[in-house]
Amino acid sequence: MRTERNKDRSYNVWMTRDEYRELPRRATTTQREIAIRLMGACGLRVREVLDVTPDHISRMTDGRHYALEVVGGKDTTGEYDGGKHRETWLPVDVEATIHRYIQEHDIDVDRPLADKSKRTVQWAEDAADGAADELGDDDYRRISTHDLRRCWANHLLVEENVSPRIVMALGGWSSYDAIEPYLAAPTEENIIRSMTDVGL
């Protein structure tokens, strides 16, 4: 895990996917796990997580994958317009967890999955504190909800070489400049794999 200290004394935390996966594992309820995974596996912002309902999930045209409609999205100038929509990728395992939660708790199609009276930010911090305690890595205590979105975007862009245009569309960014901060130097493993693939 790599951390960068900002001028305001906050931190940017760069997690590997394995480090990120420690967080949903330590969620104390399924609802909390879903909220964390919507940020770290789907790239949602906290405010966007609070608006997700079962009705926003749809099967893609191949019949095997899922899309998640994100409503009330934020534009890259920092203002919510209340009506900006996008669709993002919903991993099959996250959809299965959501589906099970909906069935177990008889959630109406238009009811938000995350209780707006709860502090979703605190849920991620609690999971990070649990990971820090169990793994003996205090860098987990520096993780913010935005680091989950950063981890998602960085993984797609740097580790998986997904087209920036696709990441922009899925994450709701309108320009390449807006996603540039989510890029970081590739890991040694990524360099070895990429250069081996090209035969050099």
Domains in the chain: boundaries: 2-197
Contact by Cβ (8 Å): 92, 80: no
Q: Tell whether domain 2-197 is in CATH 1.10.443.10.
A: yes
Which tokens belong to 164? 């920036």
| Mean per-residue pLDDT pooled into runs of 10, the chain (200 residues) | 85 92 96 96 94 96 96 59 80 98 95 80 90 96 94 92 93 90 73 78
What pLDDT, on a 0 to 100 scale, did the predictor assign at position 118? 60
Q: State the pTM of this model.
A: 0.86
Which tokens belong to 153? 């975007």
What pLDDT, on a 0 to 100 scale, did the predictor assign at position 200? 67
Q: What's at 200, amino acid-wise?
A: L
| CB count in 10 Å sphere of residue 43 | 27
DSSP characters over 50-70: TT--GGGEEE-TTSS-EEEEE
What pLDDT, on a 0 to 100 scale, did the predictor assign at position 117? 65
Nearby residues of 36 by Cβ (< 8 Å), 6 or more positions away: 23, 24, 27, 123, 124, 127, 148
Helix ranges (H only) for the chain are 17-25, 30-40, 46-49, 92-105, 120-135, 145-154, 164-171, 176-179, 188-197
Which tokens belong to 87? 């669709």
What pLDDT, on a 0 to 100 scale, did the predictor assign at position 59? 97
In the three-class reduction of DSSP (H, G, I as helix; E, B as strand; rest coil), residue 61 is classed as coil
